[in-house]
A = this chain, B = another copy of it.
Amino acid sequence: MEDQDLKRAGLKVTISRMKILELLENSDKRHMSAEDIYKALLDVGKEIGLATIYRVLTQFEAAGLVIRHHFEGGQAVFELERGHHHDHLICVKCGKIVEFVDESIEAKQEKIAEENGFKISDHSLIIYGVCSKENCQQ
Interface residues in chain A, defined as those with a beta carbon under 8 Å from any beta carbon in chain B: 70, 72, 89, 91-92, 98, 100, 102, 104-105, 108-109, 112-113, 116-132, 134-135
Contact = CB atoms under 8 A, between A and B. Distances in A.
25 contacts: A70-B70, A89-B112, A89-B113, A89-B118, A91-B118, A92-B121, A98-B118, A100-B112, A102-B108, A104-B108, A105-B105, A109-B127, A117-B132, A117-B134, A118-B127, A118-B130, A118-B132, A120-B127, A120-B128, A121-B130, A122-B127, A123-B125, A123-B127, A124-B124, A125-B125
Copies of this chain per assembly:
2
A130 B131 CA distance: 35
A89 B116 contact: yes
A135 B135 CA distance: 47
